Amino acid sequence: MADLAKTAGRVIVVDRAGRLRADSAGAGLLNSVYATPSRPEIRTALGGSPATRIATSESLDGTEILAAAAPIFLPADPAPVGAVRITQPTTELRNAVRRSLLGVVAIGIGGLVAGLLIAFVLAGSLARPLQRLVGAARRLGAGDLTVRAGMTEGAKELKELGAAFDEMADRLERLVRAQREFVGNASHQLRTPLTGLKLRLESAGAKAPPELRRDLEAAEHEADRLATIVGRLLTLARRVESGAGPEADLGVAVEQAAARWEERAAAAGSTVRSRTTEGVAAGADAEDVGQILDNLIHNAIRYAPGEVTLAADLDGDRVRLVVEDRGPGIPDDERERVTERFYRGRGATPGGSGLGLAVVREMTERWHGTVEVKQGEQGGTRIEVLLPKPERAV
């Protein structure tokens, strides 16, 4: 009874007539009739079935209570001899439920936080070896053949992946070094016989009759071309061995192109001049730059005879090669397509293949550059070839 008093609960016992026989609240109401219409749960319990209801207690100043009643049976009597009823304010029950819910929520939040911490630790342990492997792959792709992953931590699969990467890097280093040695040795050893061949052709040409001299001069020209190719291979091998990439001085390329096209331009009624030029392109081959200029100058002379201007300058982190004419220009709706293969504009003269500017674009993109076709400052067409410049100042 003391525990019920602490929790504001009440227990009563009534006989089969509904009169109060026991009351945890005291003896003041004993023998009162409790099986009244306002207490239907007691009537139901006296009928042999348990019952519950939520009601408002007048004796507790309108406090909402939960009332539960159950019948009392004796072994020799099939009919209930009375009933017991327990009442409890719902406030206590709701507080208990609320405390239970808060406890469950707290446990859930704690489990979630613990799970996130565990997941963060596991993700870090997996991410660190992968980041190391990614960094090694990028350095290897950039040309550092000595880099290795060295995976000594992490899951078994990550260690196997790191070992496979290191094995691949070892094989790649051996292969590249063998290629470098071959190119360097071959180009170096070819220079001597080529020089001897050229000298013999020159000597034979000086003694040969005119009709044979022309053939010997053509052969000497081809020997010169082969010597140039061998020289380029040797230069490339030295650059690769030293770790330096190819570079092209656009200023020199512009001046050489202007000199190279001076006579042909004059014969076509055009002039080729170069402005003050500067700029070194990183990763671009000087021969390719010369071929780009040749294609652009040829197009300008053929389709826009007149003055053709060559220039090279700096444009932020890139260098710019410019070929500009004063011809009729290219319509706006065709500028985006003139660098496509086999495309010829509406006003193009017959006889062309439509490959000149396409070749320029493909060669430029090979060196990570772009080609832009614009309207010239004085009409005509302005073509800009933008190439990356070295990281060092030029």
For residues 267 and 299, membership in a common domain is answered with yes
What strands lie across the sheet with 318-325, from one edge to the other?
271-274, 307-315, 318-325, 381-388, 370-375
Q: How far apart are CA 359 and CA 385, in angstroms?
A: 12
**Boundary-marking domain end, from 216, 242, 268:** 242
Domain's final residue, options 242, 266, 285: 242
Residue 80, in any domain of the structure: yes
Residue 194 and residue 272 share a domain: no
Same domain membership, residue 332 and residue 218: no
pLDDT tens digit at each of 394 positions of the chain: 444 444 457 899 999 888 999 988 888 888 888 888 888 888 898 988 999 888 776 666 667 888 899 999 988 888 899 999 988 888 777 788 888 999 999 999 999 999 888 888 777 777 777 788 888 888 887 777 788 887 767 677 778 888 888 888 888 888 878 877 776 676 667 777 777 777 777 778 777 787 787 777 778 777 777 777 776 666 656 555 555 556 778 888 888 888 888 888 888 888 998 876 677 776 677 778 888 888 889 888 888 888 999 988 888 788 888 999 888 877 777 777 777 776 665 555 554 555 678 888 888 888 888 888 888 777 788 889 988 877 653 3
CA dist., res. 363 & res. 370, Å (int): 10
Q: Which of 189, 213, 242 is the last residue of a domain?
A: 242
| 251 and 383 fall within a common domain | yes
Please tell me whether residues 170 and 274 are part of one structural domain.
no
Of 1, 3, 34, which is closest to residue 17 (Cα–Cα)?
A: 34
In a domain, 18, yes or no: yes
Cα distance between the two ends of the chain: 99
The reply to whether 251 and 379 lie within a common domain is yes
Same domain assignment for residues 291 and 224: no
Radius of gyration (C-alpha) of the chain in whole angstroms: 49
- Looking at the fold, whether 218 and 264 belong to one and the same domain comes out as no
- Strand duo 10-15 + 370-375: pairing: unpaired
| 367 and 254 in a common domain | yes
Structural domain for 364, as ranges: 247-388
CB 300 within 8 A of CB 315: no
Q: What CATH number should be reported for the domain holding residue 165?
A: 1.10.287.130
Q: What is the count of structural domains for the chain?
A: 3
Say whether both 179 and 275 belong to one domain. no
Strands 247-249 and 280-282: antiparallel
Beta strands in 190-306 (DSSP E): 247-249, 271-274, 280-282
